[in-house]
Amino acid sequence: MPLKAELHCHIEGAAAPELVISQARKYGKDTSPYIKDGAFVWHDFTSFLVAYDFASDLFRTEEDYARLADHYLTSLARDGAIYSEVFTSPDHAKKAGLSPKAYTDALGEGMARAKAKTGIEGRMIVTGVRHVGVESIEQAARFAARCGHPLVTGFGVAGDERIGDFEDYVRAFEIAREAGLGITIHAGELMGWESVKAALDHIRPSRIGHGVRAIENPDLVRRIADEGVVLECCPGSNIALKVFDSFADHPFPALLAAGCKVTLSSDDPPYFWTSLKREYDIATEHFGIKDKALVAITRTAIEAAFVDRKTKAALLARLNGAGR
């Protein structure tokens, strides 16, 4: 089994249906409109967000969040992951009645528990949500910049890409950049290549969440390869959300062949019937990528990780040692 690293997973979106059902029992909520036969129910991006917000609202206390992070990172480690970055969402925490600090500390506690059991290294990327609005995105950036949590190493923007303009987020990303945080932004998932170009022009991220619809413009693909921008690709998510019709139509192999730095992640795994392990299996089965090339993809992810130099060197040494 190749060693793995994940750069793109929303922690609320990683809650398995069984965990969500157990949380619903705790808070006396009915999951039947959103979970059927052990799987989340949705039919498009908008209804996905509704199910996602329903499940997120069932995580309310510090222990709930610690359990969620521990559960997810422990399952990742079991699947061969040595590194995990998760997107955190102060907006979801606030809705559940927790301060961003209590929420972040709790997730950090869950990550520490998973690390103690399995050795998996974890970091957090604080995110703002586009469809919540610019002000909340700037608030999230200010929190990320000042929180001082040692595992908060990045800032990003997720949410409904059909809403808002990239120019509107420049100030939030300046706050994050000035604080020394790594920068990533979702683009080129629900919207086309123009969105990826706007993200590069206005935000100048080192990584893009998805970015796969850059494939619609060969000049942009060349720019991504030349500038070494890393794409956080989530093929299982893209097929589930019908960004592409089938794996045969997915641009991952073309982007790789064009010299783009591509990585593999699960996005919101149980919603998209996937896992990090399945994403690596998809790469083998549908894109013809063999074990050695999968290890190179893990290396790309670790090299692009928002993690201190010493930890990065230790992760790379672990990866290189496993290949011998």
Ligand X SMILES: Nc1ncnc2[nH]cnc12
The binder of 13, among ligand X, Zn ion, none, by C-beta within 5 to 8 A per type, is ligand X
The residue at minimum Cβ distance from ligand X is 158
The verdict on whether residue 8 carries a ligand-binding annotation is yes
The verdict on whether residue 186 carries a ligand-binding annotation is yes
* Phi (first) and psi of residue 60, to 5 degrees: -125, -25
What is the contact mask toward ligand X in residues 257 to 296, using x (rule: CB under 6 A)? Answer: ----------xx----------------------------
What is the contact mask toward ligand X in residues 7 to 46, using x (rule: CB under 6 A)? Answer: ---x--x---------------------------------
List Cβ neighbours of 305 (8 Å cut-off, separation of 6 or more).
Answer: 5, 7, 83, 85, 123, 312, 315
Binding of residue 85 to Zn ion (CB under 5 A): no
DSSP string over 253-317: HHHHHTT-EEEE--BSGGGGT--HHHHHHHHHHHH---HHHHHHHHHHHHHT-SS-HHHHHHHHH
* Strand 35-36, strand 121-129: pairing: unpaired
List the catalytic residue out of 12, 138, 189, 279: 189
- For 162-189, letters b (16+ CB in 10 Å) and e give eebebeebeebbebbbebebbbbbbbbb
From CA 143, how far away is CA 281, in angstroms rounded?
37
User: What value, to the nearest 5°, has the Cα angle with vertex 104 and ends 305 and 93?
Assistant: 120
The verdict on whether residue 267 carries a ligand-binding annotation is yes
Q: Which of 12, 91, 138, 267 binds Zn ion (CB under 5 A)?
A: 267
Binding of residue 158 to ligand X (CB under 6 A): yes
Active site residue 6: no
- Smaller CB distance to ligand X: residue 85 or 268? 268
- Smaller CB distance to ligand X: residue 276 or 319? 276
- Smaller CB distance to ligand X: residue 187 or 302? 187
Instruction: Detail the residues annotated as belonging to a binding site for Zn(2+).
Output: 8, 10, 186, 267
Active site residues: 189
Q: Which residues bind ligand X (CB under 6 A)?
A: 10, 13, 158-159, 186, 189, 237, 267-268
Q: Which residues bind Zn ion (CB under 5 A)?
A: 267
